[in-house]
A and B are shown apart, each in its own frame.
Chain A
Amino acid sequence: MTHPTRALNRRTLLGLGAGLGALAGTGFLSACATSSSTRGGGESASPRATGDPDNPLGVPADLPLEAVIFKGGYGDQYAIDAQAVYQQRFPQAQIQHTGGQELAKLLQPRFVSGDVPDVICNAGAGALMLAPLVENGQLTDLTPLLDAPADGGDGRTVRDTLLPGVVEQGTFGGVPYALNYTFTVHGLYYSSALFDEHGWTYPGTWTEMLDLCQEIKDSTGMAPWTYQGKNPGYILTPLVMMAVKAGGRDVIDALDNLDPDGWTSAPMMESARAMYQLVERDFIMQGTSGLTHIQAQTYWANGEAAFIPCGSWLESELGDVTPDGFDMVIASPPALTDDDALPQAAIRGMGNEPFIVPAQAENPYGGMEFLRIMLSPASSQNFTRQTQTLTSLAEYDPQSAGTGLTSVRDALSASGDDTFFWRYGTWYSALQTEAANATSALMTGEIDPDEWGRRCQAAADAVREDDSIEKYGDQ
């Protein structure tokens, strides 16, 4: 017999392992030492007009530029391409690019020490939380960028070329600190090819939705709905959307301002009861609550379920998984009542992928110039070509658009001025987490709509009563 472990002194090894294990389990935060230095920050970013059409922000030509870009579903090639343009304009500038994930872990120590990049695409799971950065004054006011002439904007300012709501969504306490580069629309996705094949039409009202679900279930054995079970925030979105359309923008204000009946208002409860019918009538794909977003979306694309709620990144996220001729399209959820305050076509559209310029950046105007390049029609087209996703720039021709992106543009133009968004999730992460957890329990039938309302409202109340949490709504 051979004894593979005999050569090692196993007690020593175990002892060491136990010590390291205890250390790893309890002490890893200690890596953030208590001592830290504050470096003198960059100059304060006050608006300045140089009048130079080639360099309206007055970027010092020889300063290096450091960009940290979230490298997720969209990759980071689009940012590298924009940096090439920057390099052409400022040939002396040294450009340093980092593409990465889990940016909070990457950048948190750098924010503490003050040695920060000049521009950050702060997106994805594990992104930095913006609210504390704003609270600490660690971000640059982007007003100079918004007031600068847009690149390829025929004399208009950057602010004027952006889609409505984009500036507002990056604004904290009246100051624009973040600029959302992509524009995503949220709704229900379905395969138009499949619907044509079976002669189904997208339902305009919730009653029609339930009828169609019954028909889908009876005639095909396919599950009517699935969702990204382990990330229940996805299924909360259509619930809130239907409530907003039924009750109007007051519903959003009540949620964002943490009103005492924000979550238990009539439209919210009615929407929760509507969604709960999917559970009661067994319209949700079996096992959905245990699926990751990738699993759920893959099952949906393979025809296991008819509807899935998602944002317009879905087409790019699924990529080759989607079968040819599937023809995915997006639509706003059905109208909850016969007299909804907003039209059925009204849809949730909002900026994503927030770009920030740290206050202590060495080259804040370089960071803003980089964003100005990114928001040119040429860069936007390049981004859409690579990702099948719209940028926040209004009225550019995305050129290469698949069925998904075409339907996103159609949905957006049908929605027009009724496009809406809410912000409580960005402002109060604890509330977002608890509301998503409660919705997960609702959609598995573990709790009923009344209990759901109580839980969500309790979470909102807790945030409102907690003085240590900075509030952003206009209360």
Chain B
Amino acid sequence: MRAGSLRFVVTALAVPILLYGVLVISPYAQSFYISLTDWNGLSPERTFVGLDNYVRLVQDDVFWISVWHNVIAVLVIPAVTLALGLFFATMIHVGRYRARGGGRGVRGAAVYRIVYFFPHLLSIAVVGVLFSTVYDPTDSGLLNGALGLVGIEPVNWLGDRGTAYPAMLAVIIWLSVGFYVILFTSAMSSIPVDIFEAARLDGASRWQTFWRMTLPLIWDTVQVAGIYLGIHALDMFAIVNVMSAAGGSGGPDNATQVLGNYLYLTAFQNSEFGYATAIGVALLLLTLAFAAAALRLTRRERVEF
């Protein structure tokens, strides 16, 4: 290392590392300590109970239901959102394929971009209220009314344990797609047009162009989007809390319970902060495992252009 550069590195990193230590590392360390106590969250007193909370965690059925629901969310939400996002972005960007001059967006592409982005601007609370009307289980519900027109019996979307969780996942996907459409269209715009023209001249089909050129060239963006979506999907707290019942029961009968909401109920409804923190630590480990796995699985040769 050249003389002086060490000092530069140290001074440049000191503030971020200090902030990271105070705002991230220290709370995690404290959380880990709290998870080893029986703290009820209301008084300064707490007793050290060792790994009792973790033993209880392993035996807790609701915990495992929640983990399972989080895992489903992590698998489904990124996959569906990325697929839809890529599809819409491609359509907007190169939907109309011209014989000369490569792809052009479909008519009204600018309008679509804005419309797709709308849901992303709404807060989860607003979306929750909105969708309680969409998912109204009687035949006067928005969705059931539409289904009624084609002769389908009303579905009890949020009241049936079979449909409640998929219905919530659909809301999250609806909410997220628009942002990724924008992200992917702008990534696609940065690919030079001549490459597409060359491919077209060589007789590549649209399908081939997408798989062999577009996707590899924006792979970095897709990868980051996937990880971000995955971490977002591990949360799920807000939507479950708003849509399951007043106060967020995770119902019907834990059919929509996720770790974030279970943690919340344990802490604020049952006043078991020690146990809730143990759930939080489990969620942290799950998040880290997901991020590590996702980075490893999606590693690819980077294509320069």
* A interface list, Cβ under 8 A from B: 1-6, 10-11, 14-15, 17-18, 21-34, 36-38, 102, 104-105, 108, 111-114, 125-126, 128-129, 131-133, 135-136, 138, 229-232, 285-293, 295, 299, 304, 429-430, 433, 437-438, 440-441, 444, 446, 468
Q: CA A301 – CA B34 in complex, angstroms?
A: 48
Chain A residues, CB < 8 A from B41 = 32, 108, 112, 132
Q: CA A10 – CA B254 in complex, angstroms?
A: 37
Judge whether B43 and A138 touch: CB under 8 Å.
yes
Q: CA A25 – CA B231 in complex, angstroms?
A: 8
Judge whether B42 and A287 touch: CB under 8 Å.
no
Smallest beta-carbon distance B258→chain A, Å: 10
Known: A22-B291, A230-B245, A295-B132. A34 touches B251 (CB 8 A): no
User: Which residue of A has the minimal Cβ distance to B38?
Assistant: A468
User: Which residue of A has the minimal Cβ distance to B26?
Assistant: A30
Chain B, range 245-292, C-beta contacts under 8 Å to A? 245-247, 249, 251-254, 260, 263, 267-271, 273, 276-277, 280-281, 283-284, 287, 291
Would you call B122 an interface residue if the criterion is a C-beta within 8 Å of the partner chain's C-beta atoms? no
Chain B residues, CB < 8 A from A230 = 158-159, 244-246, 249, 251-252
Judge whether B159 and A26 touch: CB under 8 Å.
no
A sample of 30 inter-chain contacts (CB < 8 A) reads A4-B182, A5-B186, A6-B186, A14-B225, A18-B228, A25-B237, A25-B283, A27-B31, A29-B34, A29-B263, A29-B267, A30-B30, A104-B268, A113-B44, A128-B271, A129-B269, A230-B251, A287-B138, A289-B160, A290-B135, A290-B137, A290-B158, A290-B164, A292-B245, A299-B138, A433-B249, A437-B251, A441-B253, A446-B161, A446-B253
Judge whether A34 and B30 touch: CB under 8 Å.
yes
Give the 10 A-B CB pairs with smallest separation, nearest first: A290-B159, A287-B137, A30-B27, A289-B159, A230-B245, A125-B247, A290-B137, A26-B284, A132-B40, A129-B271
A290 contact from B157, B221, B227, Cβ within 8 A: B157
Judge whether A27 and B24 touch: CB under 8 Å.
yes
Would you call B224 an interface residue if the criterion is a C-beta within 8 Å of the partner chain's C-beta atoms? yes
B159 contact from A11, A113, A288, Cβ within 8 A: A288
Q: CA A396 – CA B53 in complex, angstroms?
A: 50
Smallest beta-carbon distance B15→chain A, Å: 16
Judge whether A287 and B154 touch: CB under 8 Å.
yes
B252 contact from A5, A38, A289, A292, Cβ within 8 A: A289
Chain B, range 149-176, C-beta contacts under 8 Å to A? 154, 156-161, 164
Q: Is chain A's binding surface mostly helix, strand, loop or mixed?
A: helix
Q: CA A446 – CA B158 in complex, angstroms?
A: 15
Known: A22-B287, A22-B291, A27-B31. A290 touches B228 (CB 8 A): no
User: Which residue of B has the minimal Cβ distance to A430?
Assistant: B270
B42 contact from A33, A34, A138, Cβ within 8 A: A138
Judge whether A29 and B280 touch: CB under 8 Å.
yes
Q: CA A312 – CA B276 in complex, angstroms?
A: 34
Q: A126-B269, A138-B42 are in contact. List 4 more A-B contacts (CB 8 A).
A: A3-B186, A23-B24, A112-B41, A287-B137
Would you call B48 an interface residue if the criterion is a C-beta within 8 Å of the partner chain's C-beta atoms? no
Would you call B232 an interface residue if the criterion is a C-beta within 8 Å of the partner chain's C-beta atoms? yes
Judge whether B138 and A286 touch: CB under 8 Å.
yes
Q: CA A438 – CA B254 in complex, angstroms?
A: 10
Chain A residues, CB < 8 A from B42 = 108, 111-112, 128-129, 132-133, 136, 138
User: Which residue of A has the minimal Cβ distance to B24?
Assistant: A23
Q: Give a binary string over B218-252; 1 marks a CB under 8 Å from any A CB, 0 the rest.
A: 00110011011001101101000000111101011
Q: CA A26 – CA B249 in complex, angstroms?
A: 19
Would you call B28 an interface residue if the criterion is a C-beta within 8 Å of the partner chain's C-beta atoms? yes
Chain A residues, CB < 8 A from B27 = 27, 30-31, 33
Judge whether A4 and B269 touch: CB under 8 Å.
no
Judge whether A3 and B232 touch: CB under 8 Å.
no
Judge whether A292 and B270 touch: CB under 8 Å.
no
Known: A30-B30, A34-B33. A429 touches B227 (CB 8 A): no
Q: CA A31 – CA B220 in complex, angstroms?
A: 34
Chain B residues, CB < 8 A from A438 = 253
Judge whether A26 and B246 touch: CB under 8 Å.
no
User: Which residue of B has the minimal Cβ distance to A5?
Assistant: B186
Smallest beta-carbon distance B163→chain A, Å: 9
Q: CA A114 – CA B284 in complex, angstroms?
A: 30
Chain B residues, CB < 8 A from A136 = 40, 42-43, 45
Chain B residues, CB < 8 A from A231 = 245-246, 249
Would you call B208 an interface residue if the criterion is a C-beta within 8 Å of the partner chain's C-beta atoms? no
Chain A residues, CB < 8 A from B234 = 25
A112 contact from B43, B159, B227, B260, Cβ within 8 A: B43
Would you call B298 an interface residue if the criterion is a C-beta within 8 Å of the partner chain's C-beta atoms? no
User: Which residue of B has the minimal Cβ distance to A103?
Assistant: B268
Judge whether B268 and A105 touch: CB under 8 Å.
yes
Chain A residues, CB < 8 A from B31 = 27, 29-30
Q: CA A10 – CA B139 in complex, angstroms?
A: 44
